[in-house]
Amino acid sequence: MNSKNQEPFKYMFNNIDVIINFLSKSKSASEAWKKLSTELPDLKCCMKFNTFKVYSKILAIVSFHINNYKNLIIELKKENKELMKNIDAFNARELNLKFRLNEAYKNEQENLCLTNKVRHELDKIFLENSVVKKELDEVRHELDKISLENSVVKKELDELRHELDKIFLENSVVKKELDKVRHELGKISLKNSVVKKELDKVRQNLCDKINESSQLKIQLDSILKVKYEIHFELTEVIHKMNKIFTEESNVKAELDKVKIKLSRLVKSQDSNRVEDRVIKRINGWGVQFKYPYYRIFKKINGKVKWIYIGKKFSNELALSKIEKFFKDTENNISNN
């Protein structure tokens, strides 16, 4: 399309970078007009100086807002990338914790199976010796207490799923202790006199286990504190991301508003240009253009009559509709 037939503002908007550059380097609009006349030969053909002066102010404002929106979008994208990296790190850490806690749960199940086998062997020994039975009942009662405490510890370990390396070491110690208990129980079945001394050793081992369980509770409390801190950090990250998404949507809305204003300005100029080409009156009827439709009007018997034409105006169409209007009016009068 020839630049002479372009709309002034559209022509300036297409060459916005060149025009803004010369305006920033010039002291006045007239100086910029002279320099741009040599750089853009079609400028004088497309518009006059006064039109250029008005549109250059609008163009400077539009250029300023567009540059600000572009810089803001770049900064928001950088912050979004950093936040996504932090979230990926948190997810990897959580998967690692889940894997290690599952291993701990499996080891705990093995220990429970070994404990059940030891109880079965103790029941046999109680049947063989009534004297030892009383002592073993006391031991069983203490073991039941320990099993209850272990169940509480197990629930806390399922929630936190942490400190796995220490639990693996403790499981190996428990297996050695169970082997010692089996060996001692075999001796009890042969010698009742030695059983009491061995039971004292078992009681001492149980006291040690109780102390170890109390230490585990303390460690679990510290782990719970770390979990809450991690949860708080995640909520802050999510809050920042929501804020960034809101700001980005606001920027897009502002850009849409600018586009709508520009399109309306171009349409209004198009409508003014088309309206200048259409005749103002035809056969005593006035012509009116209200974007994007044409219609004609005339005062008849003290009342204004309107006839709709359409988006395109032609003399033939207008005359045919005027003729039809009068025919319809005559038919209505004859019918009445």
What is the pLDDT confidence band of residue 136, given thresholds at 50, 70 and 90?
low
For 141-158, give one letter per residue: b (16+ CB within 10 A) or e.
Answer: ebbeeeeebbeebeebbe
Residue of 198 and 129 predicted with greater confidence: 198
Residue entry with tokens 């309306």: 264
Instruction: Give per-residue pLDDT as tens, 197-241.
Output: 887 887 888 788 778 777 888 887 878 887 778 887 778 878 878
Spatial neighbors of 164 by CB under 8 A, at least 6 apart, are 100, 101, 103, 104
Flag the least confident range among 30-34, 225-229, 254-258, 282-286.
Answer: 254-258
Residue entry with tokens 């920027």: 251
The whole-angstrom separation of Cα 168 and Cα 210 is 18
How far is C-alpha 12 from the geometric centre of its chain's CA atoms?
A: 39
The per-residue pLDDT for 1 is 43
| 255 and 261 Cβ atoms separated by less than 8 Å | no
| Token code pair at residue 79 | 């912050």
Question: Average pLDDT, stretch 44-57?
Answer: 84
The whole-angstrom separation of Cα 28 and Cα 331 is 68
87-96 own/partner pairs: CB under 8 Å, 24+ apart: 87/237, 90/230, 90/233, 90/234, 90/237
Domain ranges of the chain: 116-248, 281-335
